[in-house]
Amino acid sequence: MPASTRHHRALAVFVHCLGILAAVPALPAAAPEAAAAPRPAAVTPPPALPRPAAGTPQPAAPRPAAGTPQPAAPRPAAGTPRPAAPTPTTGPTAIGPPVPVAARATSAEPTPPSAPPAVATPTRAVAPAPPPPVTVAVAPESSPAPRYRIHVRNVGNSPVDTTVRQELPSGSSATAISAGGRSSRSGGSTAEVTWRLRLPAHSSTTLGTALTATAPGQPLTAPACAFTSDGSRPYDCATATWQAAAAAPAAEATEAPPWRRYPVLLAGLGILLLISAAVAWVWRRRRGRRGRRITAAALADGGHGTIYPRPATPSPSRRRRTPPVWLLVGAAAVVLAGVIGTAGWTATRQVSSIDTQKQPTSGAWRGSGVSGPMGVPLRESAFEFTVYRMTCGAAGSAATAPGASAPPPGARSCQATVGVRNLTGSQQPWHGQLQRAYLPGNRWVSTDESATRAANLGRDVFANPVAAGSRVVLPLVFTVDGRDPPRQLELRSGVFSAGVRVQMP
């Protein structure tokens, strides 16, 4: 073979390889599922037929009649193993048509849609808590002495054993209790009335109490709660405030009439002095003018019949009169006294309106802090808190929850039954570290989250936000040291909320 022919062939092979390499990336990629599927069995090539001699006519292949369906080629099963490749022979063989990649991909199962791009998962709306099986409603009676009606209802389909407790206001005691109730003293410093009931399915009962009034006409608030049979977990709570029926409404504080206010009196006195001084000055000036006119007329009529003023006599120069110095000094003194008196009265009113008993809250950036007694609903920026009950165990009663650190020696647990109502139109989170119990000496402790989880049967009440418009009643546990119970509870929905302060009896 000539050298030029060999060079041309080598160059052609090289260019052909470059074309193949450039065309490979443009080929469609097979689906992963199709690539993983087993390939169909190799088609057995038909036996080779002898080539006819040149010039011999070849018979035409029979064509099927029009409309006759052609049998489809059998498709191998997905699990059929691939047979071994046939051994090549030396004789001529018929080469079957190649199997396209797209056909193999079509025979596999449809490819599922790919996963969407990584985006933030939308927050799911928290479903409101299911209604409790036992509901409580408290209503006061219109009577001279404090009386309450407590309606307890079982809304479930099975009987329920429950314990109903009503907290009595500080300083009051029960004078009459409906059948089955007894008065006792809880772990705190207040007394309570307790009933143990068994409510059939879809039944209700009414309980009643009568209390002694701490002061004539003073309103009394007595909340009531229904607990489980062991008295550990609350089902539902309610509260009501009794108002004396015979007590007349308190007279509204009205301001004194204007003529009895010191600033108005001082201002009026100053104006009166100014007017009096102006009248006196005008009167004296007019009197002086009149005297000068009389004197001039007398000189003009001196018996000679001359006409006044005389032409030869020059007219006297008139000096412009000014108010006397004592009048100016007096008016300035009166105005200064009025300004000082008004400023002092205004400052005194503003200082007297400041509540010195109200303590500031840390991080109160939204709303204003609200304080109130136990059993009264107190509203802040997002939640309405109501503390129905507070009980404290004996010294050393603080239990150690699994996985939590051991409490200090002599510590005890104080459990508060708190109602939380979300007043907003969206779900609101809250945190246990923001709920505090204040002890004597302005010391405070946050919620013991492990003990609170144990009191709620292992449920973390701070893990999920409170649904919009829902209300929950749950126990909060505080681990305190010392013999004195908490004096105040501070509850808030967020760091930037002013929160509420509940005074403990």
Pick the range with the lowest mean pLDDT from 89-98, 351-360, 365-374. 89-98
Question: What's the pLDDT at 215?
Answer: 79
Confidence (pLDDT) at 326? 73
What separation in angstroms does the CA of 320 have from each of 232, 309, 323? 96, 21, 10
The C-alpha atoms of residue 35 and residue 201 are separated, in whole angstroms, by 64
- Whole-angstrom distance, CA of residue 365 vs CA of residue 259: 42
- The pLDDT score that the predictor gives to residue 488 is 92
Q: How is residue 466 annotated by DSSP?
A: B
For residues 267-283, give the mean pLDDT: 80
Rounded average pLDDT over 105-132? 53
Identify the pLDDT of residue 37.
46
For residue 406, the model assigns a pLDDT of 67
Higher pLDDT, 252 or 431: 431
Q: Which residue has the tokens 């550990």?
A: 232
CA distance 487 to 192: 19
Beta bridge partners of 443: 439
**Are 428 and 422 contacting, i.e. CB atoms less than 8 angstroms apart?**
yes
| Residue 358 clears pLDDT 80, i.e. is over it | no
Q: For the chain, first and last CA: distance in Å?
A: 117
pLDDT band, very low/low/confident/very high, at 339 (cuts 50, 70, 90): confident
Share of the chain above pLDDT 90, in %: 29
pLDDT of 149 reads 94
Q: H helices then E strands: how many in the chain?
A: 6, 20
Q: Was domain 134-242 assigned CATH 2.60.40.290?
A: yes
Task: Please return the burial class of 207, using the count of CB atoms within 10 Å of its CB with bins 0-12, 13-18 and 19+.
Answer: buried
* Tokens of residue 496, six digits: 């930037």
Nearest of 356, 360, 358, 370 to residue 493 by alpha carbon: 370
pLDDT at 485: 86
> pLDDT at position 337, please?
79
- Which pair of tokens denotes residue 66? 């029009």
| Per-residue pLDDT at 321 | 64
Q: How confident is residue 117, by pLDDT bands cut at 50, 70 and 90?
A: very low
For residue 394, the model assigns a pLDDT of 80
Average pLDDT rounded to a whole number, residues 92-100: 43
Confidence bin at 205 (pLDDT 50/70/90): very high
Q: Which residues pair with 390 in a beta bridge?
A: 416
Closest CA to 464 of 422, 494, 424, 429: 429
- Nearest CA to 154 out of 135, 181, 130 is that of 135
pLDDT in tens, 276-295: 888 888 887 777 777 677 76
**Token digits for 272?**
């009166």
Q: What are phi and psi of 349, to 5 degrees?
A: -65, -40
Confidence band, pLDDT 50/70/90 cuts, at residue 229: confident
Closest to 197 (Cα-Cα) out of 174, 171, 178: 178
Residue 436 has pLDDT above 70, yes or no: yes
Show me where the domains of the chain are located: 134-242, 370-503
For residue 334 the two structure tokens come to 């009166």
**Which region holds residue 20: left if phi is over 0, alpha if psi is between -120 and 50, else beta?**
alpha
* pLDDT tops 50 at residue 445: yes
Is residue 384's pLDDT more than 70? yes
CA atoms within 13 A on the CB side of 487: 10
What is the average pLDDT across 201-222? 89
Taking 60 as the threshold, does the pLDDT of residue 348 lie above it? yes
Which of 86-100, 309-323, 327-341, 412-426 is the least confident region?
86-100
| Percentage of the chain lying above the pLDDT 70 cut | 61
Give residue 247's pLDDT: 45
Give the highest mean pLDDT range of 245-259, 345-359, 452-466.
452-466
- Gap between the Cα atoms of 140 and 239, Å rounded: 9
Residues 6+ away with beta carbon under 8 Å from 301? 308
In angstroms, the CA 221 to CA 208 distance is: 15
More confident residue, 168 or 316: 168
The pLDDT score that the predictor gives to residue 88 is: 43
Q: Is the pTM of this model over 0.85?
A: no
Chain-centre distance for alpha carbon 287 = 80
Give the per-residue pLDDT at 106: 40
Is 238 a residue whose pLDDT tops 80? yes
Query: 3-state DSSP call for residue 291?
Result: helix
Distance CA 476, CA 419 (A): 10
Q: In the prediction, which pLDDT does 418 show?
A: 95
Single out the residue of 493, 480, 347 nearest to residue 415, CA to CA. 480
Tokens standing for residue 124:
């799911």
DSSP annotation of 396: T
267 φ, ψ to 5°?
A: -65, -40
Residues 6 or more apart whose Cβ sits within 8 Å of residue 233: 227, 455, 456, 457, 475
412 strand-pairing partners: 480
Q: 30-86 pLDDT, tens per residue?
A: 444 444 444 545 444 445 444 544 444 454 444 544 444 454 444 544 444 454 444
Check for a shared fold between 134-242 and 370-503.
Answer: yes
- Residue 365 pLDDT grade (very low, low, confident, very high; cuts 50, 70, 90): low
Task: Tell me how far apart the alpha carbons of residues 419 and 362 are, in angstroms, rounded to a whole number.
Answer: 23
Confidence bin at 150 (pLDDT 50/70/90): very high
What CATH number is given for 370-503 in this structure? 2.60.40.1240
Looking at residue 102, what is its pLDDT? 38
Listed as own residue / partner, the contacts of 200-203 with beta carbons closer than 8 Å and 24 or more positions apart are 200/154, 200/159, 201/154, 201/156, 201/157, 201/158, 201/159, 202/154, 202/155, 202/156, 202/157, 203/153, 203/154
403: Cβ contacts below 8 Å, ≥ 6 apart:
450
